[in-house]
Amino acid sequence: MKKALALIFLSAGCLFVSTESPAQTFRYANDALRFSQYQPGGTARIMSLGGAQVALGGDISSAYSNPAGLGFYNRSEISFTPSFTNSVNDAYFIAPGESVSSNSLYDYRSRLGIGSLGVVLNRSKKSEDRSGWLGGSFAITYQRTNTFYDKFAFEGNNASNSLVDIFPLYELNTYNNLDLQGFYGAALDAELIAIFEDTEVNGEARYYYDTYMPFPDEEFPIFQRDVVQTAGSQGQLNFAYGGNIADMVYIGGGIGITSLSYTYNSRYQEVVPQGLYTTYPEQIDEYPLSRLDLDTERVTSGAGINATLGIIARPIPAISLGLSYQTPTLYQMNEEEAGTFDTQFESGTPRGFGSYYNSFDYNLKTPGRVTAGLAAFIEKWGFLTADVEYVNYGNARLTDSYSSLTSDNNAIRQDLEAVINYRLGAELRYEVLRFRAGYAHQPNPYANRVGFEAISNVYSVGAGLRFRQYYVDLALNQQRNNRLYTPYDLGPDSPRISLDNKVSSAFLTVGLTF
């Protein structure tokens, strides 16, 4: 006969449970990838070119991508780029053991923001003698490199498992080896799980976790629902200089001060079908828990530093060749997580409640990247340009004061690989008018995760007006992603949510020259 122990604990431990893992149990490995993948960014001109810019110059975005491009300036400039972003998701719930969706939900989230802003101060040689050193330009700019505003919801029936299955139910342990704090402590406080005493081993009692929640089956599956919202952005403050050698070679370098803020909110719910208790009323005594709510909020923030070096060569006036290298970014990170369990019982027992909180500091090194670009100019009619970027996501690394992230680093090495991102752009010119189009592709960075992908395609168009003392550019783009999400991780038995994501954005740049 099982003897239940009434245990009420303050939840203040440091156990992390991943409720946000598109491919792995290791949430920090997933965050390392999230903060290492950058979206095409910059002014509306560059956005409409798919982000291709390494071989181009004369744009304030060069301070971030290739500082050598600042050497093309012959006047000073100030510009500002506000943006509007709308993220739309179709979420398809795929129950364990199924390969197709049983249900889908639509949701969206919109946001105004700043794509870029900054000033370029030019001091260059204006004489007809174009030999030797011709001066250059210094720039102070800000460029957004990621936006995290998103929302999706899903719901469906699961006949195979429940959130409670992430706990090691029925495993015998000594009392001192039981986890009584943090996430486990909150689940105990809410009576989602309880501790029971078993037979003694060598005179010492053994204990195990059990649950008051019934286990699902085909006749009475558990209804699962989640509403997930994310917010925040990632950006870089750039201090860069680019110089001009004989209008043929341009060199530059810069320092980047990076910052990020990422907020994850989830309201997860499980409901036991009422038919279970009407068909089998004896279940109320053994498994009276009929509803579970888990609210989670996680706030991640960080600041870092990197450097960028670049060169652009013009072997002939119609061709520009660019090359840039951005060093790894060294971040100091902080994560704060709070969660609340709320349970309801069919037996009339008062509702259960339990909460936990944790704060964790760690360091992140994102991988460096090398980008090569080509631009071909068609007299006064415009140009074609292309970039290829090499980045090895498997080189990201995590460290902390307790050496507790070894498994995450192993996951990064084993599951992430090197990729080549590419971006294409074209501009057509007619007097003061500019018409542009672009495309960017980021391939799947996962090496050993069949079925889990993070592929991104961006399609863009734009137009602009160019005058001597000012200019205006507009860009419209749409980023399309397909990825998988799981609310809790049970390996191949996890419920999966297939997300069809489309992010539509508009950018407007206004610039003044002086």
Classify residue 171 by its DSSP letter.
-
* Residue 76 burial (CB count, 10 A): 16
Q: In the prediction, which pLDDT does 451 show?
A: 54
Determine the Cα–Cα distance for residues 337 and 360; give it in Å rounded to an integer.
Answer: 9
The pLDDT of residue 342 is above 70? yes
Give the model's pLDDT for residue 24.
38
The pLDDT score that the predictor gives to residue 102 is 62
Q: What is the pLDDT of residue 447?
A: 84
Q: Using 50, 70 and 90 to split pLDDT, how confident is the model at 15?
A: very low
Residue in 67, 33, 513 with CA at minimum distance from that of residue 252: 67
For residues 187 and 354, is the Cβ–Cβ distance under 8 A?
Answer: yes
pLDDT, greater one: 51 or 95? 51
| 272, containing H or E segment | none
Quick check: 28 and 18 in contact, CB under 8 A?
no
- CA gap 457, 444 in Å, rounded: 11
Beta strands in 189-271 (DSSP E): 193-201, 204-211, 222-245, 249-271
Look up the domain containing 51 and give its range. Answer: 22-430+440-450
- Please indicate, yes or no, if residue 281 is contained in any of the structural domains: yes
Mean predicted confidence (pLDDT) in 383-401: 97
Say whether pLDDT at 26 is over 80: no
How does DSSP classify residue 395? G
Average pLDDT over residues 225-234: 96
- 20 pLDDT tier (thresholds 50, 70, 90): low
**Which of 4-8, 404-408, 411-415, 431-435: highest mean pLDDT?**
431-435
**Structure tokens that stand for 285 in this block:** 């005594």
Query: In the chain, how many domains are there?
Result: 1
Q: pLDDT (tens digit, 9 = 90+) per residue, 244-254?
A: 999 999 999 99
Query: Comparing 107 with 297, which gets the higher pLDDT?
Result: 297
Of 144-148, 406-410, 449-453, 484-488, the range with the lowest mean pLDDT is: 449-453
Q: What is the pLDDT of residue 452?
A: 59
Q: What's the CATH code of the domain at 58?
A: 2.40.160
Cα 321 to Cα 372: distance, rounded to the nearest angstrom: 8
pLDDT band of 67, cuts 50, 70, 90: very high
Dihedrals φ, ψ of 195, to 5°?
-105, 130
Within-domain flag for 319: yes
Confidence of residue 125 (pLDDT cuts 50, 70, 90): confident
pLDDT at 3: 35
Which pLDDT band holds residue 177 (cuts at 50, 70, 90)?
A: confident
In a domain, 342, yes or no: yes
Residue 59, strand partner residues: none
* CA–CA gap between residue 162 and residue 157 (Å, rounded): 10
Is the pLDDT at 19 greater than 50? The verdict is no
Does residue 364 sit within a domain?
yes
Sheet holding 3-5, edge to edge: 3-5, 193-201, 204-211
Give whichever of 153-157, 169-173, 180-184 has the largest mean pLDDT: 153-157
pTM for this entry: 0.89
155 versus 452: which is more confidently predicted? 155
In a domain, 67, yes or no: yes
Mean pLDDT across the chain: 90
Structure tokens at 237: 């403050």
At residue 374, the pLDDT reads 98
| Domain contains 265 | yes
In the chain, % of residues over pLDDT 70: 93
311 assigned to some structural domain = yes
pLDDT in tens, 290-308: 999 999 999 999 999 999 9
Q: Report, as an integer, the average pLDDT of 454-467.
A: 94
Residue 264 backbone phi and psi in degrees, to 5: -120, 125
Domain contains 362: yes
Question: Residue 17: is its pLDDT beyond 70?
Answer: no
Average pLDDT, integer, range 338-344: 95
Q: What type of residue is 330?
A: L
Mean pLDDT of 407-433: 95
pLDDT over threshold 60, residue 6: no
Between these two residues, 157 and 97, which has the higher pLDDT value?
Answer: 157
Q: Is 177 helix (H, G, I), strand (E, B) or coil?
A: helix
Instruction: For residue 500, give the nearest of 24, 92, 84 by alpha carbon.
Output: 92
> What does the block give as tokens for 289?
């828990």
pLDDT at 455 over 90: no
